[in-house]
Amino acid sequence: MMRDSRLSSVLHGLLHMIGAGEPVTSEQLAQAMATNPVVVRRVMAGLREQGLVHSEKGHGGGWTLERDPADITLAEIYRAVGAPTIVAIGHRSENPGCLVEQAVNDALGDTFREVEALFLKRLGAVTLDALAKDFKRRLAKHKQNLEDQIHAAK
């Protein structure tokens, strides 16, 4: 099954925006996200509607973060990109009259709901800021590794 990567994609873009400090164009984001500017605008439009980001036209325009990253959870971002289907497995039909179907749907349906709840709970526990800090840690470690290699080569 083709998996929806809008959340992953937009997070990538947001981290870039946090690091930038000035408006980032769709063109730049598209390059960072390895996609097309139109796709960027499409997915970012959802975030703008929720007041998470702001867009500006013309020279010096582009996308900026509208709220404090420490107050934005991944769950909120997930909803902003359209709250795509979480569980890729489903019923053959909803609202079935068949008793067999009801038994099956009940057994699976409870599991689906539980799984979705866990997913949202986990996303709700991570802020954009936490993600950005994690990235910075990786960056610092990466630089350290490079330096270590240089020293070792001396």
Partner DNA sequence: CATCATGTAACATATGAAGTTACATGATGC
Partner DNA sequence: GCATCATGTAACTTCATATGTTACATGATG
User: Which residues 6+ apart lie within 8 Å of 23 measured at CB?
Assistant: 56, 60, 61, 62, 63, 64
Residue 42 touches which member of a copy of itself, DNA, none, C-beta under 5-8 Å by kind? DNA
Q: Does 145 bind a copy of itself (CB under 8 A)?
A: no
Residue 51 touches which member of a copy of itself, DNA, none, C-beta under 5-8 Å by kind? none
Footprint of DNA (CB under 7 A): 1-2, 4-6, 9, 24-27, 34-39, 41-42, 44-45, 48, 55-63, 84-85
| Region near a copy of itself per CB under 8 A, out of 47-55, 63-71, 118-126, 144-152 | 118-126
Enter the tokens of residue 29: 């984001």
Question: What are 73's strand-pairing partners?
Answer: 127
Q: Does 8 bind a copy of itself (CB under 8 A)?
A: yes
Q: Does 114 bind a copy of itself (CB under 8 A)?
A: yes
Residue 103 touches which member of DNA, a copy of itself, none, C-beta under 5-8 Å by kind? a copy of itself
Q: Does 31 bind a copy of itself (CB under 8 A)?
A: no
Alpha carbons 77 and 52: distance in angstroms, whole number: 8
Q: Does 36 bind a copy of itself (CB under 8 A)?
A: no
User: Which residues 6+ apart lie within 8 Å of 115 measured at CB?
Assistant: 86, 87
Residue 83 touches which member of a copy of itself, DNA, none, C-beta under 5-8 Å by kind? none
Alpha carbons 33 and 13: distance in angstroms, whole number: 6
Alpha carbons 78 and 55: distance in angstroms, whole number: 19
User: CA angle 112-117-121, nearest 5°?
Assistant: 150
